Amino acid sequence: MTRKEFFARVGFGAATVLLPACLAGLSASCSSDESNDSGSSIPIPGATSNFTVDTSTGALASNGGFIVMKGIIIARTSTGTFLAVSSSCTHESVTLGYDKSGNVFVCPRHNSKFNSAGTVISGPASSDLKQYQTTLSGTTLTVYV
């Protein structure tokens, strides 16, 4: 066997082993497409599925409570409505808290503040948080991601 034949066989063998895995990866990434508002299908990188939270116990059982779950901070306002925004400060990715008296999300590191829709009120953060829609059915809160 010549050197050229050896490398040709090794290359073909590697391609035979890797091709199914590559095709499976492409197929999986295409199947997680979601629709945008216009109804067309667009891929959402890193998209996860919606999830539910039981609001009958824990921090969300009372007004002013909040939890962080799956990269989202979920807060129950003083009036009992639910808010959900990304949980990382856009300045340095610190996990946010919720101040029920001001109905704002606050970064404990540099005191950036975001309103209930995730819009920056004061910096040093300069980018808004991603806001998530929620619906409540009985004591089950669904967060749409």
pLDDT at 16 over 60: no
pLDDT at 38 over 60: no
Mean pLDDT, range 97-110, rounded to an integer: 92
pLDDT at 46 over 70: no
- pLDDT-based confidence at 5, cuts 50/70/90? low
pLDDT of res. 12: 54
Mean pLDDT, range 93-101, rounded to an integer: 92
Task: List, edge to edge, every strand of the sheet that includes 72-76.
Answer: 66-69, 72-76, 82-86
8 A C-beta contact, residue 90 and residue 125:
yes
- Give the Cα separation of 43 and 37 in Å (integer): 13
In Å, what is the CA distance from 80 to each residue of 14, 19, 52?
A: 59, 53, 17
pTM, 2 dp: 0.65
